[in-house]
Amino acid sequence: MSHDTVASDADPNADTLTMYADYVCPFCYLGEASLAQYREERDEPLNVEWHPFDLRSRERGPDGEIDPAADSGKDDEYYEQARENVRRLQEEYDVEMSLEIAEDVDSKNAQQAALFVREEYPEAFATFHERVFDALWQDERDIGDPDVLAEIAADVGSADGEGIDPDALRAAIDDPERETALEKRFREAQQTGITGVPTFAYDGHAARGAVPPEHLRRLIEG
């Protein structure tokens, strides 16, 4: 699915929307689809700044592994309602996606890789960002696996026709300073008051959830 929701080159004269998201969140994938629809209908350009969020923090153990049995603070009824909402929004936004992904997929490496790409290969970021989402929700791949991320990177062409250096991306995933920077982003989201994703923020106002395009229009255009 082509979203192209995250601008690779920001327009200094355009409005900027911040989207807090985590790749493992199905509603974030659906929110990207809604945002893409809104941007297609919008006359003016719109910059979108992606801000990482750690949805798996309560399930990640000291060893860095995800424990699906860990207490996430949500019960079975919550998850069943969430699945029903995902199915409803799939139909509403005409999105094909798998709901059979492994429960222990951790997006932390993917988010660290995405920040690296945005910093070092800004012209390729939008495509990389989209491909990571699709790898999980279309192809059921483990986006926490550095090999998967390196393969995505190698397939994404930059402006000069060269792919992202997969070895450099692997090194970025293993870089403790980049991990610290990512965790700082996670804390910033919490300090801003973000408690769930997706959250769309604009000019001091916010909309939480995979809201329809008309809600995004009201958020941004008033």
Instruction: With beta carbons less than 8 A apart as the criterion, state whether 216 and 207 touch.
Output: yes
**Phi, psi at 205, each rounded to 5°:** -120, 160
- The span from the CA of 26 to the CA of 9, in Å, is 26
Across the chain, mean pLDDT equals 91
Condensed to tens digits (0 to 9), the pLDDT of residues 128-147 reads: 999 999 999 999 999 999 99
What is the reported pTM?
Answer: 0.91
Torsion of CA 190, 105, 121, 153, to 10 degrees: 180
Domain boundaries, the chain: 15-221
Give yes or no for a contact between 16 and 49, defined as CB atoms under 8 angstroms apart.
Answer: yes
Asked whether the predicted pLDDT for residue 95 surpasses 60, the reply is yes
**pLDDT for residue 66:** 87
For the segment(s) 15-221, the CATH number from 3.40.50.300, 3.40.47.10, 3.40.50.720, 3.40.30.10 is: 3.40.30.10
Residue 170 has pLDDT above 80, yes or no: yes
**Distance from CA of residue 173 to its chain's centroid?**
17
Asked whether the predicted pLDDT for residue 158 surpasses 70, the reply is no
Helix (H, G, I), strand (E, B) or coil at 169: helix
Query: What pLDDT is recorded for position 103?
Result: 81
**Predicted pLDDT of residue 4:** 47
Strands 205-208 and 46-52: unpaired
Q: Which of 35-49, 66-80, 81-95 has the lowest mean pLDDT?
A: 66-80
